[in-house]
Amino acid sequence: MKTIIPIGPYHPLQEEPEFFELHVEGERVEKLVIRIGYNHRGIEKLAESKTYDQVIFLVERICGICSTSHPIAAANALEDLAGIRAPERALYIRTVIGELERLHSHLLWLGLAGHFIGYNTLWMWAWKAREPVLDIMERISGNRNHYAMMKAGGVRRDLKAEDIPWVLKTLDSIKPDIDLFHKALDDDPVLHLRLKNVGVLTPEDIAVTGALGPTARASGVDIDIRRDEPYAAYDRVEWKVIVGSAGDVFDKAWVRVLEMKESIGIIEQCLRALPPGEIDLRLKEMPPGEGIGRHEAPRGECFHYVLSDGSSCPVRYKIRAPSFMNLTTNYIAARGETVADATLILAAVDPCYCCTERMAVVSGGRRRTIDGERLVEISRRKTLRLASELGVEPESTLKKNGPRS
Amino acid sequence: MNAQELKSELESKFPGGILSWEERSPHRVYAAVKPESLREMARHLYAGLGLRLSTATAAHILKGFEILYHFALDRGGVVLSLRVSLGEGPPAADSIADLVPAADWIEREMAELMGVEFRGRASTEPLLSSEEWPKGVFPLRKNGEIPDSGLQIGGD
């Protein structure tokens, strides 16, 4: 029997509504239809009526999670246009903010992924570990999100010397949490059964879709703008690009967890080697011409293009967020999988969309509206079934090694 | 491979296909290409040389419309932007989505927001705009009128 399951477009947890329609034959997903644009705010058009300085604030409003990703890409684009490089100290500060954001974004994803499979302890602990990262953002920028730190030619706020020891200490406090998540991923048999070989993307699938970030790297595609086209201070510090191989949901989680450890290392090195000096070139005008700026956001390459005629506002401003590419992997990854795994697969690319606001099942011409928590429940039940088949408690590895006080 | 090697590769493969080549930095290359060479060049960049289509930008400028296809050479950190001028009339270009599948969504976006017609596309279903969006209104055009959405804030 053919069933069509629409998911979306709105969910209060996510800042980016999308609509998925699962065409299901029996238990298996046969086809996926994706519609986006429900939250299209015409930001490219708006940018044409904003001054260059305002554009940075505007693009910071694109995303509520990786809110500094677009400002960094925009600063890179405007500096490419102007043919300048921000002062050294500003490059280090950009790197610190960019990596703090990766940390909290990956923790947010990890928690959500935990929730979708019924690992609610993981959910709570991941989000608990995220809080100190937001506290650091607040101490540095005054804001837990939308930090308003970036500008073309530098950064807007300096890092205070007296804050640095506190920031380092706060980062230390979440290291055991990340180790715990890493260990759970390595050792928990239920997680292995639930996440391995699910929603597999091959390197060819990544090439076909143009997928980016952890989604690409989990499939063994070794791309990362931070290394490939070094900007900010990424070429001044030691770190490595985390690359998986299996291309399944497990490797996507594994890549993100290990990336968090790299992020902490990058932040620590930047804070310890923060060079003195100016933080802003105080640019007054933009020349005519074009500029391209890229940033490796938590979800992959963020791409900005600017066309200038030398006036105070851009003639054209193009933005391509990584989810625009990553979402199309779902056409491939969800096909042939069960409905119980579909939520997880759609969530695995961290698309700023995961679960359902509402869900309606159309079956045999009859439409049945199902409670919003139902899809998560189907996924959760599969986890419980696997755990009971193994004769273990779900989240046993996690609970055995925690909680921390 | 670096920008220079890319240039000689494309020049030998597509003689006369590149109208101008501008290397603004080791990471930023812009090549104006003949519209009729675009498809084969895009195919070669993606399938032959393994470049990734990062995205494309359609712009409405004084000379009319143009599209920039931004190809990323990841190892080497090069963005090669192929510039195709569409002239002053109603903008139309050959679709490359059958050769470079990652172009599918961005072509749909350019069709909906800039009104570029892509010849030879299998599907022209809207990706971003709602069913109620009026036909023939393209908000990213410079002379585009943006209709009143009729949406009211607050109240039912």
The domain that contains A141 carries what CATH number? 1.10.645.10
From CA A44, how far away is CA A55, in angstroms rounded? 10
* Distance in Å, alpha carbon of A178 to nearest chain B alpha carbon: 30
Task: Report the range of poorest mean pLDDT among A59-63, A78-82, A257-261.
Answer: A59-63
* Chain A interface includes B75 (CB < 8 A): yes
Whole domain around residue B66: which residue ranges? 3-90
Give contacts of B55 with chain A, Cβ < 8 Å. 303, 318, 320, 324
pLDDT of residue B8: 93
Whether residue A247 is contained in a domain is answered as yes
Residue A318 resides in a domain: yes
Residue B55 counted as domain residue: yes
Q: Do A80 and B28 touch (CB under 8 A)?
A: yes
CA A246 to chain B, closest CA, distance in angstroms equals 21
B66 and B92 Cβ atoms separated by less than 8 Å = no
Q: Is B50 within a domain?
A: yes
- Residue B122, in any domain of the structure: no
From A253's Cα to the closest Cα of chain B, the distance in A is 23
CB atoms within 10 A of CB A245: 12
B123 at interface of A, judged by CB pairs closer than 8 A: no
pLDDT, average across residues A211-235: 97
**CATH number, domain containing residue B86:** 3.30.460.80
Chain A CB contacts of B81 under 8 Å are 292
Interface contact B102-A208, CB threshold 8 A: yes
pLDDT(A381) > 70: yes
B2 vs A: CB within 8 A: no
Examine residue A17 and state whether it is found in any structural domain, yes or no: no
Query: Does residue A121 carry a pLDDT above 90?
Result: yes
Number of domains chain B contains: 1
Do B105 and A328 count as a contact with CB atoms less than 8 A apart?
A: yes
Q: Which of A78-87, A294-303, A346-355, B34-43 has the lowest mean pLDDT?
A: A346-355
- Under an 8 A CB cutoff, do A305 and B27 touch? no
- The token duo for A4 is 């069509």
Structural tokens at position B45: 């960049």
Residue type, A71: P
The answer to whether the CB of A37 falls within 8 A of the CB of B127 is yes
pLDDT over 60 (residue A353): no
Q: Chain A interface, mutation test: which of B22, B51, B52, B133, most A Cβ atoms within 10 Å?
A: B52
The pLDDT score that the predictor gives to residue A373 is 66
B50 neighbourhood in chain A, CB within 8 Å? 207
Question: What's the pLDDT tens digit per position in A160-176?
Answer: 999 999 999 999 999 99
Q: Which domain holds residue A57?
A: 40-322
pLDDT at residue A1 is higher than 70? no
B53 contact residues in A (CB cutoff 8 A): 210
Residue B124, amino acid? T
Q: What is the pLDDT of residue A260?
A: 98
Q: Is the per-residue pLDDT at B47 higher than 80?
A: yes
Least Cα separation, residue A313 to chain B (angstroms): 14
For the segment B22-45, what is each residue's pLDDT rounded down to a tens digit?
A: 999 999 999 999 999 999 999 999
At residue A228, does pLDDT exceed 90?
yes
Q: Do B81 and A45 touch (CB under 8 A)?
A: no
Specify the DSSP class assigned to residue A316: E
Please work out, in degrees rounded to the nearest 5, the angle formed at the alpha carbon of residue A357 by the alpha carbons of A354 and A361: 100
Average pLDDT, chain A: 89
d(CA A133, CA A119): 22
At B116, the pLDDT band (50, 70, 90 cuts) reads very high
Domain count within chain A: 1
Assign A4 a pLDDT band (cuts: 50, 70, 90). confident
Highest mean pLDDT of the ranges A198-202, A360-364, A397-401, B135-139:
A198-202
Whole-model pTM: value is 0.92
CB-nearest to A305 from B57, B101, B127 is: B57
Instruction: Please report whether residue B18 resides in a domain.
Output: yes
Give the number of other Cβ atoms within 10 Å of residue A402's Cβ. 18
pLDDT of residue A401: 80
More confident: A346 or B34:
B34
Q: How far is CA A20 from CA A8, A126, A149, A250, in A?
A: 6, 27, 35, 22
On chain B, the residues whose CB falls within 8 A of the CB of A316 are: 57, 59-61, 140
What value of ipTM does the predicted structure carry?
0.94
With respect to residue B45, please indicate whether it lies within any of the assigned structural domains: yes
- Is residue A393 in some structural domain? no
CA distance A341 to A336: 10
Tell me if B110 sits within 8 A of B56, measured CB to CB: yes
Chain A residues within 8 A (CB-CB) of chain B? 35-37, 40, 42, 44-45, 80, 207-210, 223, 225, 228-230, 290, 292, 294, 301, 303, 305, 307, 315-316, 318, 320, 324-325, 328
